[in-house]
Amino acid sequence: MKTLKKRRRIQVISVAVVALALSTALIGYAMRDGINFFRSPSQVMAEPPAETEVFRIGGLVEPGSIVRGRSDTVVFRVTDGPASVEVRYRGILPDLFAENEGMVGTGRLVNGVFEAHEILAKHDETYMPREVMEALKAQDHWRASGVEPES
């Protein structure tokens, strides 16, 4: 009788461990596209990612680089100082999107042009995404204006 209980208990524990491992693997597989790594323009130029990789790019919108087309397509350059990357976005830009202001875009690098499907801009005078601020500081392109990142 005791061996039957022990065997049943081992079977239940084994099934639970397999189910837990399987569910963890499925969750990881489902989240693989939801994880977007941040890169500065310098990092993108030094090591261009694959065209299939979705990532975030951030920096300052280069002054004089915004070109609005007849449709809802906008082309501009984002820079961190030493390097800049051309960005193409189709859609409506945030109201606070402007030249020489911080932005973060999500998309893919296709033939040297970042094709964004989402653009985020700062939301008030004291906000800049932590990743953008750190990338600008690393390139000595940080404007000392007392702006601190949002936590």
- More confident call, 11 vs 37: 11
User: Phi-psi region for residue 108, left (φ > 0), alpha (ψ -120 to 50) or beta?
Assistant: beta
User: Phi-psi region for residue 136, left (φ > 0), alpha (ψ -120 to 50) or beta?
Assistant: alpha
Q: What does the pLDDT look like over 43-101, one tens digit per residue? A: 889 988 888 888 899 888 999 999 987 788 899 999 988 889 999 999 888 888 888 88
Q: Which CATH superfamily is domain 37-138 in?
A: Nucleic acid-binding proteins (2.40.50.140)
Q: Distance of CA 17 to CAs 5, 13, 14, 21, Å?
A: 18, 6, 5, 6
Cα four-point dihedral sign 91, 94, 100, 106: negative
* pTM, two decimal places: 0.63
| Sequence spans of domains, the chain | 1-32, 37-138
